Copies of this chain bind each other. A is one copy, B any other.
Amino acid sequence: MSELIRLAHGFGGRLTQDLLDQIILPALSGKDGHAVTLDAAVLPDLLPPVVVSTDSFTITPRFFPGGDIGKLAVVGTINDVAMMGACPQYMSLGLIIEEGFAFDELRTIMASIGRVCRETGVRIVTGDTKVVEKGTVDGLFLNTTGFGTRAFGPVGPELIREGDVLLVSGTIGDHGAAILNAREKLGFDGTLASDCAPLHELVAEVAAAVGGALHALRDPTRGGLAATLNEFAQDTGLQIVLVEEKLPIRAAVASFIEVLGLDPLPLANEGKALLFVAPDAAAAALAAMQKHIYGREAAIIGRVEKAPRRGRVVMETAIGARRVIEMPIEAGLPRIC
């Protein structure tokens, strides 16, 4: 018997309870057997200052090399919270499911969510499940909102100074390239994989190593380095200089983008952080990252200078030329997260 989601699974009655009891809650129960409450949760030990972040996930395909929509939904929100200095402790989970969606696929995605939660110590404490008519959503969309007590910082663009060093925690463009390859069935070799990974430990270790010398950090997801660095340039009014030959790019990604004529800078990443660090702490920050499993290929990739007129991002090429990196406009890569 192949089981499919029916509209009544979202009605709030008996079938909603069945869906929760049989598929959703068992996947989320931790080793301590905590139950997920339905409408709301009380968090007595969430202490101030609280960091919060929300994200919706509409990615297609839902399964891709390196992850799936469930893993991405947990990791994406962990990373947004981590970039503000918090170790995410709690999360809410909203599901919007299309009528006719297969129970088996939902079970697989929920298992993936549960696995990442157990690995990272994040607890899903409240949720919501909606079922909508066939044709009114593309399979499954997820929303996660994460909360944690800030463990380091404050950090933010207002702390970035001329002379700061820019680091990246590893290779760039992996997620964008893997999703484009899978989605468009381009058939490039199987080594293209999403970098989808939780970064809360990595950035906490950098903060422990360099303290207040860690000025600002952000994960370059949608729009990649091009979008994130332009946001920093706008917010600070400074010039961010990227050194082209220092950018770490996996060989498979490099040949993929070369063949397709793509620029790696706007490609999405789902397991990378950009960090602005005071110059005398850059080596220690780099060493802290390279010791971590998700930072082995970390690199110093640029610096911050006074801007000629207003904030901008420039790339310094191997022959010493400079070109301006614009805020990207078009995606080329729809629905990558």
Contact = CB atoms under 8 A, between A and B. Distances in A.
A331 interface: yes
Contact of A46 (B10, B16, B48, B81): B48
Interface in A25-65: 39-56, 58, 60
A93 interface: yes
A172 to B, nearest CB: 15
Q: How large is the interface on A (under 10, 10 to 19, 20 to 34, 35 or more residues)?
A: 35 or more
Given A48-B45, A54-B126, A133-B334, A329 B14 contact: yes
Contact of A223 (B13, B42, B331): B13
A239 interface: no
Contact of A12 (B44, B60, B222): B222
A274 interface: no
Contacts of A154: 42
A15 B331 CA distance: 10
Contact of A50 (B43, B96, B223): B43
A44 B48 contact: yes
Contacts of A46: 46, 48-50
Nearest to A96: B56
Interface residues of chain A: helix, strand, loop or mixed (majority): mixed
Interface in A163-189: none
Interface in A301-337: 327-331, 334-335
A114 interface: no
Copies in the complex: 2
A112 interface: no
A330 B7 CA distance: 8
A143 interface: yes
Interface of A: 7-8, 10-17, 39-56, 58, 60, 80-81, 83-85, 90, 92-96, 125-128, 130, 132-133, 135-138, 141, 143, 145, 147, 150, 154, 218, 221-223, 226-227, 266, 327-331, 334-335
21 contacts: A8-B329, A8-B331, A10-B222, A11-B222, A12-B328, A13-B227, A13-B329, A14-B329, A15-B329, A43-B49, A46-B50, A48-B48, A52-B125, A56-B96, A58-B130, A132-B138, A132-B334, A132-B335, A133-B335, A136-B138, A137-B138
